[in-house]
Structure 1
């Protein structure tokens, strides 16, 4: 995916907004009103998916390798 520098900067600005949103949700995810109603600000899981997606897009656009999952290594042991 070949992106221009302006598009990469837009992705970085969106990432910064997502990080701010994550911090706001972590500070105060929900609020319970005196009458028993509860207000939930945003889905932390959805915010984190957006952060991961944007980080991957930025890394891909700047040529950095994308690492997914864990590297696992098995060792065969004879009996």
Structure 2
């Protein structure tokens, strides 16, 4: 696991969060009027939220595997 992979997942999460915000602001919008109007419908909120959860889980896993493991030192003294 590399820091590049972690950064990639973090970038993906940021994109999903931005998409979620856009969906929450407006799910569907229309540009123009009449026959020349163009409509745009955003992705389903549930799918985006599933992507957010997937990214958060993967980031947590990568951070846990990349975390330095400390050495535990125990001093024993004979009696």
TM > 0.5 fold call: yes
Aligned length: 61
Name the larger-Rg structure.
2
| Bigger fraction of residues in helix | 2
Segments of 5+ residues of structure 2 without an aligned counterpart are: 66-79
Question: How far apart are the structure 1 equivalents of 2:40 and 2:62?
Answer: 38
Runs of 4+ displaced beyond 3 Å: 32-35
Question: How far apart are the structure 2 equivalents of 1:12 and 1:50?
Answer: 12
User: What is the TM-score with the length of structure 1 in the denominator?
Assistant: 0.66
CA-atom RMSD, angstroms? 2.1
User: What is the TM-score with the length of structure 2 in the denominator?
Assistant: 0.66
